[in-house]
């Protein structure tokens, strides 16, 4: 069973680990724990330490030293991004056909072209599509987040925000592929299904065979952790690329619903087992900790 898409970067996996488990603790991981966690994902210790150093230099991780060992936590900016990301991943809101649209009209002086690139990047990550030069569109439910995000980054000075209705006689379904790269996004959903589309059945069978309890530090828990963390890391990109348009506006055969079903099914099965394994590693380095006792099999608990 494929567990680790090769295109995932080590730093992406580390950030996922902090987002998953750092906020359930004091927010810090000793370097030894990161080595253990990434080791379960098949990454060698020198590569882990090199990636941690790079993330520290880039301001993603902040070093802390406790009484036992050097530790790291996520920077405040990255933590804020995770709070927004959780809403998009775990409580996505699909717009409806009659909802108004949000328009962002922006103009950035040529002398500040780096800010123009930054602004476009932020709008893309919020799910905006490009209507034309200096005009971006998205469902109205993202407008408040966009206003907040651009203000926090000092980009709101280049922008005007509007709510709008689509009044053209042309079918908006024909316009949507011009504003968003739906083909590219659909191919990414297909890729996700290629990795994980059959995983629910396979893991349900494995967990049923294992019986009612799984040891948090055992081999099956380690394998669940090694499967779940890359899966979530790969999934994290979709909430920032998919504008959650009404299904009526999307092409026939759109793969997002099937991919989302696969994600939610695997998350329900493996998230608690992976968490218990991660906490068993934390507990082994810090003494007794969360997840130190056997956990119920997710499949039998449903």
pLDDT of amino acid 288: 39
115-155 pLDDT, tens digit per residue, is: 999 999 999 988 899 999 999 999 988 898 899 989 989 99
Which residue do the tokens 């589309």 mark?
197
pLDDT of amino acid 6: 56
pLDDT band at 216 (very low <50, low <70, confident <90, very high): very high
pLDDT of amino acid 157: 95
67-82 pLDDT, tens digit per residue, is: 667 788 888 877 777 7
276-300 pLDDT, tens digit per residue, is: 999 999 887 655 344 434 444 443 3
Do the beta carbons of residue 74 and residue 22 sit within 8 Å? yes
pLDDT of amino acid 112: 93
Rg of the Cα atoms in the chain: 21
- DSSP letter at 246? -
CA–CA distance, 267 with 262 (Å, rounded to integer): 8
- DSSP letter at 138? E
pLDDT of amino acid 203: 96
The encoded tokens of residue 193 equal 């299904």
38-60 pLDDT, tens digit per residue, is: 999 999 999 999 999 999 999 88
Domain boundaries of the chain, sorted by first residue: 10-78, 101-164, 181-301
- Give 30's strand partners: 71
Average pLDDT estimate for 167-173: 86
Average pLDDT estimate for 185-194: 95
Alpha-helix runs per DSSP H in the chain: 10-21, 31-40, 45-57, 76-90, 113-125, 143-152, 172-179, 182-196, 199-210, 219-235, 256-286, 298-301
pLDDT(255) > 90: yes
CA–CA distance, 13 with 37 (Å, rounded to integer): 10
Average pLDDT estimate for 245-264: 92
**Main-chain dihedrals φ then ψ at residue 158, nearest 5 degrees:** -100, 5
The encoded tokens of residue 126 equal 């919020």
pLDDT of amino acid 234: 93
Q: What is the CATH number assigned to the segment(s) 101-164?
A: 3.30.70.240
CA–CA distance, 249 with 130 (Å, rounded to integer): 16
pLDDT(231) > 90: yes
pLDDT band at 237 (very low <50, low <70, confident <90, very high): confident
pLDDT of amino acid 291: 40
pLDDT of amino acid 17: 93
State percent of the chain over pLDDT 70. 87
pLDDT of amino acid 290: 41
CA–CA distance, 40 with 226 (Å, rounded to integer): 6
State percent of the chain over pLDDT 90. 58
pLDDT band at 92 (very low <50, low <70, confident <90, very high): low
pLDDT of amino acid 298: 42
pLDDT of amino acid 271: 96
* Angle (deg, nearest 10), helices 256-286 and 10-21: 80
Which CATH class for the 10-78 domain? mainly alpha
């Amino acid at each position: 069973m494929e567990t680790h898409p090769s295109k995932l970067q080590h730093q992406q996996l580390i950030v996922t680990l902090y987002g998953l488990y750092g906020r359930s603790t004091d927010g810090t991981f000793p370097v030894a724990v990161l080595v253990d966690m990434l080791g379960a994902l098949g990454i060698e210790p020198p590569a882990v330490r090199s990636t941690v150093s790079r993330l520290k230099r880039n301001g993603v991780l902040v070093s802390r030293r406790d009484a036992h060992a050097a530790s790291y936590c996520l920077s405040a900016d990255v933590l804020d991004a995770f709070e927004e990301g959780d809403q998009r991943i775990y409580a996505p809101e699909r717009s409806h056909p009659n909802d108004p649209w949000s328009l962002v009209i922006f103009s950035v002086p040529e002398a500040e072209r780096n800010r123009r690139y930054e602004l476009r990047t932020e709008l893309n990550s919020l799910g905006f599509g490009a209507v034309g030069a200096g005009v971006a569109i998205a469902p109205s439910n993202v407008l408040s987040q966009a206003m907040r995000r651009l203000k926090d980054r000092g980009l709101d000075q280049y922008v005007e925000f509007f709510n709008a209705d689509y009044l053209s006689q042309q079918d908006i379904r024909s316009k949507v592929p011009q504003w968003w790269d739906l083909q590219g996004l659909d191919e990414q959903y297909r890729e996700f299904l290629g990795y994980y589309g059959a995983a629910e059945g396979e893991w349900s069978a494995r967990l049923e065979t294992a019986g009612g309890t799984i040891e948090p530090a055992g081999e099956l828990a380690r394998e669940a952790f090694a499967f779940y963390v890359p899966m979530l890391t790969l999934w994290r990109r979709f909430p920032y690329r998919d504008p959650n348009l009404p299904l009526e506006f999307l092409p026939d055969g759109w793969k997002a619903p099937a991919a989302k079903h696969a994600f939610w099914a695997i998350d329900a099965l493996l998230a608690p087992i992976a968490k218990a394994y991660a906490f068993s590693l934390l507990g082994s380095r810090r003494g007794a900790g969360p997840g130190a006792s056997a956990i119920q099999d997710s499949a039998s608990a449903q």
